[in-house]
Structure 1
């Protein structure tokens, strides 16, 4: 929290049953977030910090998967360049795989656009 926010922060008191408060605190411990963040993000319908961390891990995992695919493509290209030949059937299989990667990458980009929209709230 920056100093401007802390200067203008307000305290709100409200009553809830002890069991509900304990349940909320348990949720916060499990998600590794503060009770304030849980309440504010819930009221403002924002993505929670723990969910944001999961999204970032997902994005990193996707990036690693596509890095491996790119490495495999480069290995095939190196092999073909060295042999100066690729059979018709190998080329067809490789082309299908590239098309599938193109489809997956487009789907991933749409997912990322949705994720970034959620994260910006």
Structure 2
């Protein structure tokens, strides 16, 4: 699987996106992440973390028996550069045209005086 494929696969699941959101606030112990998902088993959360690690989105280090997970935003940056930034100009121009058209439609019509 290509790197981008692994990233998209990881981002496709809402639970994994929630894990990333939790890690955005700073590193978390695996147990802390598990506590955020009471509807899932510890094994289920671990599987989600494995997918995120395979995609390079989560880095884990061990300190004794503790596993500390942190967000690695670099792969997300690659996705933005590869896919999203290409379309920035298109959407910016489109939104400006919509804005201009809306303002023009809302502007009062001026009457020309007949000479």
Task: Give TM class, smaller chain.
Answer: under 0.3
Higher strand share: 2
Greater helix fraction, Structure 1 or Structure 2: 1
Task: Give the TM-score taking structure 2 as reference length.
Answer: 0.27
